[in-house]
Amino acid sequence: MSALNTANTKNTNLYDLSFEELTAFLAGQGERPFRARQLYSWLYGKGEGSFAAMTDIPAASRARLSETARADGLFLAESLASADDSTAKYLFGTDDSHYIETVFMKYKDRNSVCISTQVGCRMGCKFCASGRLGLKRGLAPAEMALEVILSEKAAGALAKNIVLMGIGEPLDNFDAVKKFIENFTDDHGRDLSRRAITLSTCGLVPGIRRLASELPQVNLAVSLHAPNDALRREIMPVTKRYGVAEIVEATRQHYETTHRRSTFEYTLIDGFNDSPAHARELAALLRGMNCLVNLIPLNSGGYRGAREQSSTNSSVHRGSGAETAQRFRDILGDRGVPATIRKSLGSDIEAACGQLRLRYES
């Protein structure tokens, strides 16, 4: 039995429980095992957290559940839709008055939802609004499940892919993230394939190793953004703990264990990391790996560099132009490293993570 509290208290959030834990919880209320299958199907299959709506469950059982458990924990505070309706951003409030963001993206053949895994972040990447107020706390499995379910309801569509790339560093909240993934992919509920889930990290090497061994079907995306330690340290302080070579090696080992192709995310920042020399250095670093480089033009808002933040004469870094991005991609491609330039969806609704939340939290 897990350490999770399955006692009969109103604090038990059913979205925090694995199927086995839910079965034990209901057994404590005198329910037969099939009730857990029914309930899990409501929670994940139908995305329904209101006991009143679960009409095939006897009224007496629902009344008991209402007194002892809950299946909520987020409320929709604000939503923004892009002009072309391809992207919606949802700001959810938590029980303890924090805010997180979820982005729902509609593509032709599939929909994808990008969820937050922490309230804030302690990694301090300079180009990211999510970490500006530091880390408040990790999200619970229930809160991550509700991000998916409530954003699907608001968007009026189901997500086929889940991307853990919103606010927070997922590997810094590993246990809760793992539980969320296990619950969401349980065949008693949603039965989503773990191959449809991608976890993005700034490069926490022990976490990458854990991911490979404990959730080998989940896809790995690594936010690299620079081809060497000196440059990367300027924008990603985590580089002091884990250097570029160590991160790339952990990613290489991840492929050896899982046989799943990893992605390296590389934000192109004008005049900073986008020269032909940087492209050649990156190609040499990744040569021979089964990976894809995702080149991302920096969000239109830009950011202030570490040195400039304390200066009144500050300059704002901008994204690279289209020609520079294509040249960078071609240099990688010529050297056998596949790369794509990501279309930036929804920049008109501040889709870069953390920007909407900042307005509420600060």
List strand residue ranges (DSSP E) for 214-300, in order.
Answer: 219-223, 262-268, 291-297
Candidate ranges 143-151, 161-169, 302-310, 341-349; the one touching ligand SF4 (CB under 6 A): 161-169
Question: 155-189 as b/e, with b when 16 or more CB fall inside 10 Å?
Answer: beeebebbbbbbbbbbbbbbebbbbbbebbbbebb
Q: Which of residues 123-142 bind ligand SF4 (CB under 6 A)?
A: 123-125, 128, 130-131
Least Å distance, CB 155 to ligand SF4, is: 23
Q: Residue 167 or residue 295: which is nearer to ligand SF4 going by CB?
A: 167
Q: Which of 168, 207, 227, 297 binds ligand SF4 (CB under 6 A)?
A: 168
φ/ψ of residue 257, rounded to 5: -80, -40
Q: Rule CB under 6 A: is residue 49 a binding residue for ligand SF4?
A: no
Structure-token pair, residue 301:
């808002």
Catalytic status, residue 101? yes
List strand residue ranges (DSSP E) for the chain, in order.
Answer: 12-13, 69-70, 74-81, 87-94, 99-106, 111-115, 118-120, 135-138, 161-164, 197-201, 219-223, 262-268, 291-297, 303-304, 316-317, 339-341
Q: Residue 129 or residue 349: which is nearer to ligand SF4 going by CB?
A: 129
Candidate ranges 84-92, 167-175, 262-270, 280-288; the one touching ligand SF4 (CB under 6 A): 167-175
Residue pair 12/68 in contact (Cβ under 8 Å)? The answer is: yes
Q: Rule CB under 6 A: is residue 351 a binding residue for ligand SF4?
A: no
Q: Residue 68 or residue 117: which is nearer to ligand SF4 going by CB?
A: 117
Q: Residue 35 or residue 318: which is nearer to ligand SF4 going by CB?
A: 318
Q: Residue 17 or residue 114: which is nearer to ligand SF4 going by CB?
A: 114
The three-class DSSP label of residue 344 is: coil
The three-class DSSP label of residue 197 is: strand
Active-site residue, selected from the candidate residues 21, 101, 169, 265:
101
Q: Rule CB under 6 A: is residue 121 a binding residue for ligand SF4?
A: yes
Candidate ranges 18-26, 77-85, 94-102, 166-174; the one touching ligand SF4 (CB under 6 A): 166-174
Q: How many residues bind ligand SF4 (CB under 6 A)?
A: 12
Distance, CA of 326 to CA of 338 (rounded, Å):
12
Query: CB atoms < 10 A from the CB of 9, how many?
Result: 11
Name the helix (H) or strand (E) containing 209.
helix 205-214
Active-site residue, selected from the candidate residues 121, 128, 291, 353:
353
Q: Which of 31, 169, 274, 350 binds ligand SF4 (CB under 6 A)?
A: 169
φ/ψ of residue 332, rounded to 5: -65, -50
Candidate ranges 165-173, 211-219, 295-303, 333-341; the one touching ligand SF4 (CB under 6 A): 165-173
Query: CB atoms < 10 A from the CB of 97, how many?
Result: 8
Least Å distance, CB 23 to ligand SF4, is: 35
Distance, CA of 197 to CA of 117 (rounded, Å):
13
What's the distance, CA 224 to chain centroid? 16
Least Å distance, CB 125 to ligand SF4, is: 3
Catalytic status, residue 214? no
Least Å distance, CB 202 to ligand SF4, is: 4
Least Å distance, CB 70 to ligand SF4, is: 28
Least Å distance, CB 203 to ligand SF4, is: 9
Please, which contacts does 303-311 make with residues 24 or more away whose CB atoms are closer than 8 Å?
303/126, 303/127, 303/128, 304/126, 305/126, 305/234, 305/235, 305/272, 306/126, 306/234, 306/235, 309/126
Q: Residue 128 or residue 250: which is nearer to ligand SF4 going by CB?
A: 128
Q: Which of 14, 119, 171, 202 binds ligand SF4 (CB under 6 A)?
A: 202
Residues near ligand SF4 (CB under 6 A) are 121, 123-125, 128, 130-131, 167-169, 202, 223
Active site residues: 101, 353
